[in-house]
Structure 1
Amino acid sequence: MSESPPMNPMAGVAWMLASGLTFVVVTGVVRYLGTDLPAAQSAFMRFGWGVVFLAPSLLTLWRVGVPAGLGPVIAYRGAIHTVAVTLWFYAMARIPVAEVTAIGYLNPVCVTLGAALLFGEKLAVRRLVAIGVALLGALIVLRPGLRVIEPGHWAQLGAAFSFAGSYLFAKSLSGKMPAGAIVGILSVTVTLGLLPFAVWVWVPMTAAQVGWLSVVAAAATAGHYCMTRAFAVAPISVTQPVVFLQLVWATLLGYFAFGEGVDPFVLLGGTVIIGAVTYITWREAQMKRRAVTPGLGEAKI
């Protein structure tokens, strides 16, 4: 029986820092590509490249086969993840990078609510308060009534809920399939799910655009790898707060690369959401029970 790797908090923080930086590369490239490509086409190319990068895992899955009874779960997850990434690509091309990042922090909150509704997980008073605080943080970011809520904001909110649904389906697959196979088959199902929509809106692409989308896929794959290594060598309660730096990097990227203003309300709201989700995760660790709520950043493209 293989032993668990020894705990190394500093290494965990370093891996999570690397993960955050790679995901900022993802957001930066997608923002740079802008609205020249339809969201469905960009997402299709990203996951198409992902299939190429994950080919070894897919070859293993092809030889072993999918365990009986898991086909519907895999299909449902692929469908909802298809919706999630399309909405994310749409939002990323239209609203500031920092706002996409801050709203995306709602993913774990949506998972917590979904777990309670679908799996009957108990929501203690403290968790309900933390969820309320996180939603308050979202209101600080969006400021409804004080400014116009753009379609990109609604798309990112939809992406947060959709990514949460994908994560819940993934939880039901964990332990029944190897982790690499779960990620690989997700790339296949999402690529197939996006195909008809991408064909419907397809526009000619330049070699540079194809190349940049390969960078998106490579950076996303590297980000998930770094995150997995972080969770393997350090408690989530240690690595979770590091995810806050993604909002800092995203704000700096938006300011220096795209001329986006620094919005203190976005920084404040993102901090409030992160604080609430970190508290929920810490409580899960303290109670030593199987967590349903994912760490910040686990629901990524």
Structure 2
Amino acid sequence: MSVAQNTRLGIWLMIVTTIIFAVQDGLSRHLGGTYNVWMVVMLRYWFFAAFVIALVSRAPGGIRAAVRSRMPKVQMLRGVLLALEICVMVLGFVALGLVESHAVFATYPLLIAALSGPILGETVGWRRWLAIGVGFVGVVVILQPGFGVFRVEALIPLAAATMFALYGLLTRYVARTDAALVSFFWTGTTGAVVMTAIGIWHWEPMTGADMGWMALLCLSAASSHWCLIKAYEVAEASAIQPLAYLQLPFASLIGLFVFGEDLRSNVVAGASIVVAAGLFTLWRQYVKSRQRA
């Protein structure tokens, strides 16, 4: 049974999703700076996998239907990529802070556009290539190479953005044959398996207070994905996807007021360039999809 379209509700759900994601990043920054990142992400994935299994078991066909992927190897690669990307991004939060990490990570839509040709065989026109080039000028503005000492840590969120872009492209690839719920199931379970294989060797005892923060992180991970699923159920992706950029200002506010981070002028200028270029590529993608329809 199809769900009635409600763009306004989808917009509000997407805004709530970005707020929860920002809170989730703040919690990850705190816990990742106190405990081993591998263990923190492992515990998060245990709860996430349980949430995915519970959600899928209530869907038509249940878990048996969700397991049946026509591309199981690609699905496993997706799950591994996302789990490792989360680890890399949390390392970026600890090394650089939320403001600068998110400013660089905002390049992922540009990377998706750049890599969609060689990976998915899609055509990328000159306008989008120009936007991609402009976006990476924004990254140069953020990183300021040649001014003072270049921080190698700045490459961490760029690596995370690249991994997330590959994950997004593989998600579009498997969507040609697998239902969204199948991909969701494989994402949660594969990630839990790979993070357990790594994180179990880095176990550390937590204080009572941090166990509470960890529980909140797990709840935020599940609730954010639930809101995201519902947003895409009631509204077209083209209408709400640009709102994903709201995570940048929300996470930056947490970085500034909770963690006492600095907001440098070059980061603001560079992030503005990156976001503008990213929004343009999303708009061009929408225009091309409407022309093909």
Fold conserved between structures, TM > 0.5: yes
Contact 2:66 2:185 in 1 (8 A): no
Contact 1:81 1:163 in 2 (8 A): yes
Distance 1:166 1:238, change over 3 A: closer
- 1:35 maps to what in 2? 33
Contact 1:108 1:277 in 2 (8 A): yes
- Aligned AA (2:280): Y
Distance 1:41 1:110, change over 3 A: same
- Aligned AA (1:29): L
Which digits, 9 at most, give the CA deviation of each residue in 1:225-251, with x for residues without a partner?
333443444455543443443322222
TM-fit CA distance, 1:279: 1.0
Which digits, 9 at most, give the CA deviation of each residue in 1:131-188, with x for residues without a partner?
1111111112211222444354222111111111112222222253342332232121
Which digits, 9 at most, give the CA deviation of each residue in 1:57-107, with x for residues without a partner?
354653336336422112221222232122112112221211121222111
- 2:5 maps to what in 1? 6
Contact 1:244 1:271 in 2 (8 A): no
Deviates more, 1:20-29 or 1:203-212: 203-212
Deviates more, 1:227-236 or 1:210-219: 227-236
| Alpha-carbon distance in 2 for matches of 1:191, 1:89 | 17
- Aligned AA (2:220): A
TM-fit CA distance, 1:4: 5.5
| Structure 2: stretches of 5+ with no match in the other structure | none
Which digits, 9 at most, give the CA deviation of each residue in 1:176-227, with x for residues without a partner?
3342332232121112112232133332223433332332232233223333
- Aligned AA (1:55): I
Name the Cα RMSD after superposition: 2.5
- 1:131 maps to what in 2? 132
Distance 1:205 1:150, change over 3 A: farther
| Alpha-carbon distance in 2 for matches of 1:92, 1:223 | 19
Contact 2:67 2:182 in 1 (8 A): no
Question: Would you tell me which structure has more helix in proportion to its own residues?
Answer: 2
Identity fraction in percent: 25
- 1:296 maps to what in 2? none
- 2:193 maps to what in 1? 192
- SS at the partner of 2:258? helix
| Alpha-carbon distance in 1 for matches of 2:258, 2:288 | 43
Contact 2:74 2:170 in 1 (8 A): yes
- 1:44 maps to what in 2? 42
| Alpha-carbon distance in 2 for matches of 1:53, 1:66 | 16
| Alpha-carbon distance in 2 for matches of 1:233, 1:189 | 27
Contact 1:53 1:218 in 2 (8 A): no
TM-fit CA distance, 1:270: 1.6
- Aligned AA (2:4): P
Distance 1:64 1:286, change over 3 A: closer
Aligned residues: 289
- TM-score, reference length from structure 1: 0.85
| Structure 1: stretches of 5+ with no match in the other structure | 292-301
TM-fit CA distance, 1:34: 4.1
- 1:275 maps to what in 2? 276
Moved over 6 A (4+): none
Contact 1:104 1:157 in 2 (8 A): yes
- Aligned AA (1:41): M
Distance 1:16 1:147, change over 3 A: farther
TM-fit CA distance, 1:3: 4.8
